[in-house]
Amino acid sequence: MESNSIAGKGKQGLQTVINNLKLSLQRWYRPKHQQAVVTDVALSPLFENTPADSIEQESENWLDLATGQDYELFLDDAEEQLNHYDIYGRSDDDRDNYIGLSNYFFLNPTEEQLSVMTGATTMGPMLVEGVAGSGKTCVALGRAKTLCDLARTPDEERFNADFLDESSVGFVRTGELVNYLKASCQSLSIDKLPIEEYRSLVYRLNNVRQLEQRPTSTSAEGQKVTRAKFTNVSENLSYDFSAETTMNWLYASAQAIGALLQLELQKQLASLSIPAELLKAQFLAETKAGNALLELVKRSLASDYASLFNQLSGHSGDAFALDNLLSRLVNAHERIERDLFDKNTLWVHPSEEKWLIVKEAKAAVTTLREMSVVFVVVERIRDENDRPRRKATEILIETYTDLLNIFAQNGSVRSEDGLSVYSAEDAEIIWECRTDLKLVCDIPSVVNSIKITWAKDFDAVNIHLINQKLFGINQKRIFSLSEPNPFVRKIEVGEEKTQTSLAARLRSQMQRIYSSWQYADLYRDALLSFPQYWQDYPHVSQASERLKAKLLADHDKDILLALAQIITRGAQSSRLAPRLQEQPWYPSVFIDEVQDFTEVQVFLMAQQADPKYHAVTLVGDMHQQLGRGNVHDLDACFPYHSLTKFLLKENKRQEREPQLAATSMLFRSLVQNDSRLQQSAEQLTLWREQAQNGLVKGSSTSLSITLMLNWSISLVNNLMGGLLLLSVQTWL
């Protein structure tokens, strides 16, 4: 449409804003005695050939934006310039049918609405609940916008990039709501916020978690063939399965699977063993040597598994018996990798049944000294045939205990010239005169005599340990104090001399416990093996028979995906298969019409949010659930962070029809029995008065209210046997 502007097209936008601003102010701030007078801006041009006295008279009116303006305005046709998002510049019918966000709403939020939108990062999960027309969806999206704005604000460095709209997500129940929310997000400049149906989330997670277990095999023709172990139920279930969609059912499932896995872990710990083919290796040839290494692994696992068993039995205080299970299990195995399987650590093998890690040289020497070990320096030499061999060249004595240990190992001490022979009874004399004595020692396990060297301090001993020349003698056994890690030594097995190691074989056995886990199998086995955890549910047999027949209903997938989410929390190890890994988080999650989902579905969607913030925003009206409803305990859907709830009690849509708004609030309070609206007797009295004022007027709105009340009373009689009829009639 071409403008008749006298100032040029460049000011058309400014005039539109001014016209609409005046219209809004006239409608919202007009004195009561002028309520019947409606004067649109377009019908009263700001500048025409108006007499001066007329202008003076207008300046005395309650609102005058025309005088004293020092800029040109334009003349336009006699139609109001509507802002696309301003529902208060539209007719009543247009306003009722409007889908989107209102500029007036964002410029004039209530205190409740403002507290929701500004508490974006500090409140964790948040439910925005409200009556129809309260702006609950707008408020919730306002919170999403606040989060997205924080990600782009240089002053809020701690949020930078955390809440970008393209990395967050909004979930809806049906596709019809997708377009509505996308339009609203576009109005808020968060148009990149993905909005998707819940079933899209299930489809995506199902592919990752492999709920149907689709192994790939090769056919006779060489083609890859995929067959599902579990298939979808083809017919509607013949019983009421609503109990299987609750958080209580999920808790019971987690406890039963926890009991199942505790037994499996105990069996694995007991069955851990060294394969017979590895025992042919020289350092494992001694029966007790291999068992000693195996015992180190079992002892470490048992220590970590103790806390796991406590959790799986439900005694740890965790939200679920399966919380972070894979992460904790992998951490236990990785601790063994660090403590026992590290290729850079040095070990000692002082006796057939004992292996020790040399973590700190002085501590290792002290430990061996307490075991009566004699420290000897061994050099590499060549014999008369020029062949390399080792020879003990000196015994190091740093402490009095070292001297006693020589006699403890059945050694004999004599002077270098052989004129004096000493026994254990002479130990004190030898120690007192050690600086003047030159002694040699004979030990049964050493062929040659060895001279005794008096070490001034530990450094004189440690230098030989650093040079890997320090050995120990214990029970006729000579061993190095710097052996390579026995767990990672290469072992050749089979005719093909395939190289492996003790660590590789034990690692494979440990990982086998979870590498074969399939969520549907765990759920089925728990239902069949531990039905007592579902003893309060009459239809548990139907669920177990369905899983036994390898059939999955839609709500079974919800349960399995929720269990997978619980089990894999924090599991980020690359050793895990993708189905066993923690899935990527969304910085924030938006859930629309939350009352239309089941409890397990709400839990699953909420768990897609990064636990760093728990930024989950739910929108809905829990009193819109008909009959039995889907969500009985919304708080239970948030076991890791308490749910903050906001109830928007002001009906913004019916703000200009207070009698209709008041009737809606009374209906919700007394008929739907919303106790939160019954806390203020003064507020109930005000709503009653406003509703009664509407009834005495013979308007079409009053007729609508009358019909609503008649229907409400009928509904109360039908659903509640008239128990609330008296209270409704009393208030209305």
Q: Which of 35-39, 226-230, 570-574 has the lowest mean pLDDT?
A: 35-39
- Cα–Cα distance, 333 to 273 (Å, whole number): 16
Query: What is the pLDDT confidence band of residue 106, given thresholds at 50, 70 and 90?
Result: low
Q: Pick the residue with more confidence: 180 or 97? A: 180
Q: Is residue 120 pLDDT above 70, yes or no?
A: no
DSSP 342-375: -TT-EEEEEETTEEEEESSHHHHHHHHHHTTPEE
- In whole angstroms, what separates CA 203 from the centre of its chain? 20
Cα dist. 253→240, 320, 595 in Å? 18, 10, 23
Tokens of 3: 């403008």
**Strand-strand pairing, 439-442 and 412-415:** antiparallel
Span 27-86, pLDDT tens digits: 444 444 444 444 443 333 333 444 444 444 444 443 444 444 444 444 444 444 444 334
Place of tokens 């801006």: 41
171 within 8 A of 605, measured Cβ to Cβ: yes
Q: What is the pLDDT of residue 116?
A: 72
Position 167 scores a pLDDT of 64
List Cβ neighbours of 511 (8 Å cut-off, separation of 6 or more): 333, 575
pLDDT of the residue at 54: 44
612's tokens? 């760093």
Contact between 170 and 609 (Cβ < 8 Å)? no
Supply the pLDDT for residue 424.
Answer: 92
Better-predicted residue by pLDDT, 665 or 368: 368
pLDDT (tens digit, 9 = 90+) per residue, 705-716? 555 555 554 544
Q: What is the mean pLDDT of the chain?
A: 78
Q: Tell me whether strands 346-351 and 483-484 are parallel, antiparallel or unpaired.
A: antiparallel
Contact status, residue 552 vs residue 230, Cβ threshold 8 Å = yes
Q: What tokens appear for 144 in the block? A: 């999403």
Summarised one tens digit per residue, pLDDT across range 592-648 is 989 999 999 999 999 999 888 888 989 888 876 644 457 889 999 999 999 988 888
449-496: pLDDT as tens digits: 999 999 999 999 999 999 989 999 998 889 998 889 999 999 888 878
What percent of the chain clears pLDDT 90, i.e. is strictly above it?
Answer: 42
Written as one string, the DSSP assignment of 573-608 is -TTS-GGGSPPPPBSEEEESSGGGS-HHHHHHHHTT
Residue 185 is predicted with a pLDDT of: 72
pLDDT surpasses 90 at 684: no
User: What is the tens place of the pLDDT at every residue in 323-345?
Assistant: 999 999 999 999 999 999 999 98
221 versus 415: the higher-pLDDT residue is 415
End-to-end, the C-alpha distance of the chain in Å comes to 51
Per-residue confidence at 195, pLDDT binned at 50, 70, 90?
confident
Tell me the per-residue pLDDT of 90-99, one tens digit each, with 9 for 90 and over: 454 544 444 4
- pLDDT level of residue 559 (50, 70, 90 thresholds): very high
Judge whether residue 355 has pLDDT over 70: yes
Q: Judging by DSSP bridges, how do beta strands 169-172 and 588-591 pair with one another? A: parallel
pLDDT-derived band at 508 (thresholds 50, 70, 90) equals very high
The pLDDT score that the predictor gives to residue 65 is 40
Q: What's the CA gap between 492 and 498, in Å, rounded?
A: 5
Q: What CATH code would you report for 114-208+581-648?
A: 3.40.50.300
pLDDT for residue 108 is more than 70: no
> Helix (H, G, I), strand (E, B), or coil: what is residue 287?
helix
Distances (CA, A) of 553 to 175, 231, 238, 550, 719: 21, 9, 12, 10, 32
* Helices (H), ranges, 108-223: 111-118, 136-151, 176-187, 198-209
Q: Which residues contact 314 (CB under 8 A, 6 or more apart)?
A: 255, 258, 321
Apex CA 202: angle with CA 199 and CA 204, to 5°? Answer: 110
pLDDT in tens, 363-394: 999 999 999 999 999 998 887 788 888 889 99
Report domain extents, the chain: 9-81, 114-208+581-648, 244-344+488-533, 346-479, 658-731
Q: By mean pLDDT, which of 246-260, 270-284, 673-687 is the weakest?
A: 673-687
